[in-house]
Structure 1
Amino acid sequence: MRERKKQLTYQAVSDAAIALFLERGFDKVSVAEVAAAADISKPTLFRYFPAKEDLVLHRFADHEDESARVVAARPAGESPLDALHRHFLDGLDRRDPVTGLCDAPEVLAFMRLLYGTPALVARMYAYQGRSEAALADALGGGLPARLAAGQIVAVLRILALDNWRRIDAGESADAVRVGAAR
């Protein structure tokens, strides 16, 4: 029960922050304003979110070790690259926002906030660095695994960003999906 309450508070604080950031801009909203909107104190807010950027980027936290989990759970005989490719294609089919192929207005607004705010982009690279490290471990560690993980995470990031940019520029998700599957 306590963990559930904590998760609900976590989500409510993030939702309040994102609503303010979308309305006024990330840099124009103070942490004190977020705390007030969420009806909590600043110290409580910082117990949940160590940095202002985490109010937005925590939504990526569940995905930090996603590639590593896919590699670890792949069927016998399937290569890590094939497993990751299959997983990305499945994400495209589900219109998973992590793939950039989601045209829901709230997702597009969130992505504009994210990619339009240099502090958020910089902080996102830290999340991706942890994803890269987890994938390298799943690939066996060592330099070859780290190199492969770095390339894979970069490719996934660039593909997702390209998908989002094309949709944000007015292409339909269905049209983008055709090219994204290649």
Structure 2
Amino acid sequence: MNANRPGLRELKKRRTRTAISEAAIELFLDHGFNQVSVARVAEAAEVSKRTLFAYFPAKEDLVVHRLADHETELARVVRARPSGTDPLTAVRDNFLRGLRERDPFTGLNDHPQTLRLLRMILDAPQLVARMERFKAGAERALTEALRDTADAPELTARLAAVQIVAVHWALADDNARRLAHGESADARREGAAADAEHAFALLENGLRTIGSTGQGHRSTTR
């Protein structure tokens, strides 16, 4: 029985975290991010402000929590790529698959709740700024994945990660903004796929050797 207690505590923590986040999102969507106080969220979630801040150190984290799994998605794709597949191809194929499956990470998802969340983020400068930190986290995780799996030197891995994340981010942002302004995901899909193919082709010449031979410029930066 004692061996099970840590698992039960962790389960309770996850449930509390989810309950707080769901209460916050509901309030933010109904009233606006800037119009809802942390105290009001805590009251709706039936927790103290102290408990809320223990799970979410900043108000913006209540929203970004919904996207947390995506922060390291590109890194996971690179680490899990099939043998013989270079990192850029793996990321491109994952993005194109995401478009077909309407993955919110590609920006091509027009589910009403997703669109409401997107519009809320775009309308709140604090959330837009917080997403930039999210982007930086994605770059760090991808840098590590390229360094560890593609035998890329630190500087090479970091520069490649910045480029890949920037392209992925720009494509997803363009899709999301189009949908936020009324275009449907079905109408956008063909154009989104063409834009993705074009964007990754622009990267290909500079990054095609990353992970394909295990060789590259060796910087003294570590």
- TM (norm. structure 1) is 0.96
Which has the larger displacement, 42-51 or 3-12?
3-12
Partner Cα separation in structure 2 for residue 139 and residue 101 of structure 1: 27
Structure 1 residue 2: Cα displacement: 2.1
- Counterpart of 1:17 in structure 2 is 24
- Counterpart of 1:169 in structure 2 is 181
Q: Deviations over 1:54-95 (max 9, x none)?
A: 000011211111111111110111110000001111111111
- Counterpart of 2:172 in structure 1 is 160
Q: Confirm whether residue 89 of structure 1 aligns to residue 96 of structure 2.
A: yes
Query: Do 2:118 and 2:180's aligned partners in 1 also have CA atoms closer than 8 Å?
Result: no
Alignment-mate amino acid for residue 180 of structure 1: A
Structure 1 residue 169: Cα displacement: 1.8
Greater C-alpha radius of gyration: 2
- TM (norm. structure 2) is 0.79
Alignment-mate amino acid for residue 65 of structure 1: T
Structure 1 residue 156: Cα displacement: 1.1
Q: Deviations over 1:91-150 (max 9, x none)?
A: 111111111100100000000011111001111111111110010111115112111111
Describe how 1:123-162 pairs up with structure 2 within 5 A: 123-140=130-147, 141-162=153-174
Partner Cα separation in structure 1 for residue 120 and residue 29 of structure 2: 7
Query: Do 2:71 and 2:134's aligned partners in 1 also have CA atoms closer than 8 Å?
Result: yes
Structure 1 residue 162: Cα displacement: 0.8
Structure 1 residue 7: Cα displacement: 1.4
- Counterpart of 1:61 in structure 2 is 68
Q: Confirm whether residue 29 of structure 1 aligns to residue 36 of structure 2.
A: yes
- Counterpart of 1:122 in structure 2 is 129
Structure 1 residue 154: Cα displacement: 1.1
Partner Cα separation in structure 2 for residue 120 and residue 24 of structure 1: 15
Q: Confirm whether residue 113 of structure 1 aligns to residue 120 of structure 2.
A: yes
Q: CA RMSD in A?
A: 1.1
Task: Give every structure 1 segment of 4 or more consecutive aligned residues whose post-TM-superposition deviation is greater than 4 Å.
Answer: none
Partner Cα separation in structure 2 for residue 91 and residue 10 of structure 1: 27
Alignment-mate amino acid for residue 167 of structure 1: L
Partner Cα separation in structure 2 for residue 65 and residue 168 of structure 1: 25
- Equivalent pairs counted in the alignment come to 182
- Identity rate, percent: 59
5+ long unaligned stretches in structure 1? none
Partner Cα separation in structure 2 for residue 30 and residue 43 of structure 1: 14
Partner Cα separation in structure 2 for residue 95 and residue 50 of structure 1: 31
